Amino acid sequence: MHIKQELTERHVLTLTVDNEAGTLARIAGMFTSRGYNIDSLTVADISEDHTTSRITIVTKGPPPVIDQIIAQCERLIPVHKVTDLTEAGPHVERELALVKVHGTGDQRVEAMRLADIYRARVIDATVNSFIFEITGGPEKIDTFVRLMREVGLVEVGRTGIVGLMRGADAS
């Protein structure tokens, strides 16, 4: 007997949650305990009185599982609202990455040239290294990181995705 695999879809969910101890553990733990995937998760306080946070989760699963994930999130007491940005329609996704490269001579010139094309900013430099700051959709960052591998990538830090619906309404 072999374990069966199912076809999955990628979805970006945003959750409005009470900003209190344990909320993040509750959500992240629910994903693990029910066997759901988390590709990335970001969280930050978004209200003036610090009572509410927004969590953005990128997850993968077959459509019925995505439905279950949303319902299970909604079932958690500190979760007020869940929006499936992928379902909801046009939305923007952004991520920030810091990318450190090491190199001299042509390699260094090439790194700068590529950074320029990708609108990455230099935020630290030594004679043989750079740190670039880049924002964009996940694919753009993936591509940029792949290119940097060829010109001396040392390490990468990524924030994970935040997303909002396009247009005037709140998600």
Partner 1 sequence: MPEKSGAEILIDTLVEQGVDTVFGYPGGAVLPIYDALFQQKKIKHILVRHEAGAAHSAEGYARATGKPGVVLVTSGPGATNAVTGIADAFMDSIPLIVLTGQVATNLIGSDAFQEADTVGITRHCSKHNYLVKDPAELATVVREAFAIATKGRPGPVVIDIPKNVQVATASTDVKRPPRSRFTYASEADYAEINRAIELIANAKAPILYTGGGIINSGPAASEALRELAELTGAPVTSTLMGLGAYPASGEAWLGMLGMHGTYEANMAMNQCDVMVCLGARFDDRVTGRLDAFSPKSVKIHVDIDRSSMNKTVRVDLPIVADVGMAMRQMIDVWKGRKYKKQPLDEWWSRIAGWRAVDCLSYPGSAQEIMPQYAIERLFEATKDKAPIITTEVGQHQMWAAQHFHFDAPNKWLTSGGLGTMGYGLPAAIGAQMGHPDALVIDIAGEASIQMNIQEMATATQYRLPVKVFILNNEWMGMVRQWQELTYESRYSESYSDSLPDFVALAEAYGWKGIRCDDPAKLDDAIAEMLAHDGPVMFDCRVHKTSNCFPMIPSGAAHTDMILNADQVSGTMDDEAKALV
Instruction: Using CB under 8 A, pick the residue from 9, 67, 124, 155 that binds partner 1.
Output: 67
Q: For residue 20, what are the contacts with CB-CB under 8 A and spacing of at least 6?
A: 78
Q: Does 7 bind partner 1 (CB under 8 A)?
A: no
Which of 78, 103 has the CB closer to partner 1? 78
Number of chain positions touching partner 1 (CB under 8 A): 20
Q: What is the SS3 assignment for 151?
A: coil
Q: Minimal CA–CA distance to 76: which of 12, 9, 31? A: 31
Which of 43, 134 has the CB closer to partner 1? 43
Instruction: Using CB under 8 A, pick the residue from 72, 129, 159, 171 that binds partner 1.
Output: 72
Residues 116, 125: Cα–Cα separation, whole Å: 15
Tell me the closest approach of the beta carbon of residue 81 to partner 1, in angstroms: 10
Tell me the closest approach of the beta carbon of residue 7 to partner 1, in angstroms: 17
**Could you write out the DSSP letters of every residue in 34-98?**
TT---SEEEEEE-STTS-EEEEEEEEEE-HHHHHHHHHHHHHSTTEEEEEEHHHH-SEEEEEEEE
Which of 34, 149 has the CB closer to partner 1? 34
Determine the interface stretch with partner 1 among 28-36, 53-61, 83-91, 121-129 (rule: CB under 8 A).
28-36
Which of 29, 167 has the CB closer to partner 1? 29
Which of 81, 102 has the CB closer to partner 1? 81
Structure tokens at 83: 């929006």
